[in-house]
A and B are shown apart, each in its own frame.
Chain A
């Protein structure tokens, strides 16, 4: 008696696709958040400007090279995390330097540390994006988001 394996093939494909999608999402999430748990439902202090969250942002030339401007505004609206970005070079970075450490100006991008961090991250992220962005629109969005987090342009602030 033959086993009707043909009937099971679609189930195998469905389960396999779910696995691939879940792996891809968790991988991208892991790298955007630097191994920490993702932040969600940020309070008003973390996104002080409600305007920055609005979806009706017009096209803004000169701003953020090769990025969706909505994503830029989204980042900038999270005021405190954006300050972290300026201090450490990444949105999820945390730093506890004693006051007066050289190179710390919260109004300006950090000078010494950034290029290395950015270079490292751009490499990882483009790798992840290339792997998974063909799968679905969710992956593409995730890649967009992390690219936005990464390609922070220090020349804008300094």
Chain B
């Protein structure tokens, strides 16, 4: 169960924080673009799911 050090050091370690920030930024930007591209009525339908007065008409009509 010994963890062996396979590498002496990581070359270019300084790029890690930058890479992390880029990964985060691109992912976050993607999610934001998606969220704001959603249609208004879709959003209304989704947000009403927990409320009891919500009727599941959208699914019913395609049965």
A in complex with B: no
> Could you list which residues of chain B lie within 8 angstroms of chain A, going by C-beta atoms?
none
